[in-house]
Amino acid sequence: MKKHSTTAVAERGAYRPTPPPAWKPRTDPAPLLPDAEPYRVLGTPAAAEADPELLLRLHRELVRGRRYNAQATALTKQGRLAVYPSSTGQEACQVAAALVLEERDWLFPSYRDTLAAVVRGLDPVQALSLLRGDWHTGYDPREHRIAPLCTPLATQLPHAVGLAHAARLKGDDVVALALVGDGGTSEGDFHEALNFAAVWQVPVVFLVQNNGFAISVPLAKQTAAPSLAHKAVGYGMPGRLVDGNDAAAVHQVLSEATRRARSGGGPTLVEAVTYRVEAHTNADDATRYRGDGEVDAWRAHDPITLLEGELTGRGLLDDDRARSARDAAEELAAGLRARMNEDAPLDPMDLFTHVYAEQTTQLREQAAQLRAELDAEAGR
C-alpha cells in the first residue's frame, strides 16, 4: 500500500485542494415551503370572495356526509357492516377532494375515504362493499374513476403516480388526487410516490389528512418534521398547509393544486390539519390513548358549524335550504339503511374470482374442494 509521507506534504507547502465545480441549489426551496400556519378562509376576509353557490354546495355535502358517517357507524353496531373507519370531523377534506375533480380525473382513496367516493357519485352500498366483507372492491374502478379503497397504507400513492404519469405520456388531460393519512406518510410507498411524482412532474395531488393519530400513535411519535407539508420540499414540490375543517379553504387549495397539475406544473403535497373525532374504527377504544378535552376542543372547531357560521352571517342559509340539506341527508341514510339490511346475494365461489388472471394450482384445488362441499350441502 502506498504510504503518504508527511515530510513530502510539508515540502509541498500547505495542501490546497482543487475547488469543486460551482454549486447552487437545484431549485430555490423558498417557494416550495408551506405557510407558517394552516390556510383559512372561513372567518377571515377571504371568505367574502368565496362563491355563495360553492359554499352552499359544500354545506349540503357536509351535512349529507355527517349523516352518512353516523349511519355507517350504526350499521356496524347492527352487524350489517364488518368495520367502519369513520370520517366524522374530516368531512370537509372528503367533500372538497371529491368536488374539485373533473369527471375524467381519478380519485385514489384509502379505507377512510368512502365518503369522498360517495360524494364523487359512487353508490354508497358499493362504496361499503369491501368494508362489509362482500366483494373485492365492490365497484368498477374504471367506470367511476375511483381506484380501489386501499387498506395497506400508502399503496394507493404509487398507483396514483403511475396512472397520472401514463395519462400524461398518452396526452390525456387527467389529474390524480390521492388521499393518505398522517401515519401513511411514514411508509416507503409515500417516499417513492412523491419522489417519482416530482422527478417526472406528474399531474398528481397528494392530500394528507392529518387527523392527529395513526390508530393510537399521535403525530409527535410519527414524525420529527416541522409539519407534514414541509416534507414536500425534500422532493422538490410545493407543500401547502390548510385548515382541514375549513371546507372553503380545502376546496381552494386543492383547486389550485389540481389546476397546477393539469397545466403541467407538477405535483403538490397538501397537508390538511384536521382531527379524527371518532375512534379509529368500531374495533378501537380511543379513550385508552387520548383525553376528552382534546376531542372537545376539536368538536368546537367542527367543519359544519364553521361553514354554517359563515353562511348564516351572510344570510345565505335560510330555513328552506337548511331543511333541504337535512332532508337530503336523511334520504341518503334511509336508502343506505334499507339496502344494507338486505342480505346481499353472494356466491362463495366468487372468493376465487379476480384474484389472479390465471389461477394457481392451489387455488384451483381449493375452488374444487369448496365446490364439492357446497354441492354436498345442497344435496347435489
Q: Which candidate, 193, 197, 185, places its Cα nearest to that of 261?
A: 197
| Overall size of the chain counted in residues | 380
Alpha carbons 236 and 152: distance in angstroms, whole number? 26
**Cα angle value 122/128/132 (rounded, 5°):** 155
Does 153 participate in binding ligand TPP (rule CB under 6 A)?
yes
Under rule CB under 6 A, how many of the chain's residues touch ligand TPP? 15
Of 209-217, 254-262, 301-309, 355-363, the segment contacting ligand TPP by CB under 6 A is 209-217
Given 57, 191, 230, 289, the catalytic residue: 289
Alpha carbons 124 and 358: distance in angstroms, whole number? 31
Which of 214, 229, 254, 277 is the binder for ligand TPP (CB under 6 A)? 214
**Nearest CB to ligand TPP, comparing residues 189 and 310:** 189
Of 70-78, 193-201, 208-216, 359-367, the segment contacting ligand TPP by CB under 6 A is 208-216
Does 97 participate in binding ligand TPP (rule CB under 6 A)?
no
Which of 54, 70, 82, 215 is the binder for ligand TPP (CB under 6 A)? 215
Alpha carbons 260 and 31: distance in angstroms, whole number? 14
Distances from the Cα of 36 to the Cα of 94, 230, 239, 268, angstroms: 24, 10, 11, 17
Does 184 participate in binding ligand TPP (rule CB under 6 A)?
yes
Q: Are strands 204-210 and 213-214 parallel, antiparallel or unpaired?
A: unpaired
Of 37-45, 61-69, 149-157, 347-355, the segment contacting ligand TPP by CB under 6 A is 149-157
Residues 67-96 that bind ligand TPP (CB under 6 A): 85
Does 121 participate in binding ligand TPP (rule CB under 6 A)?
no
**Nearest CB to ligand TPP, comparing residues 65 and 236:** 65
- Phi, psi (degrees; rounded to nearest 5) at 348: -55, -25
Q: Which candidate, 281, 277, 213, places its Cα nearest to that of 73?
A: 281
Alpha carbons 118 and 108: distance in angstroms, whole number? 13
Known active-site residue 289: yes
Which of 84, 106, 213, 235 is the binder for ligand TPP (CB under 6 A)? 213
Alpha carbons 332 and 81: distance in angstroms, whole number? 16
Q: Any idea which residues carry the catalytic annotation?
A: 276, 280, 289
Residues near ligand TPP, by CB under 6 A: 85, 112, 151-153, 181-184, 211, 213-215, 276, 280
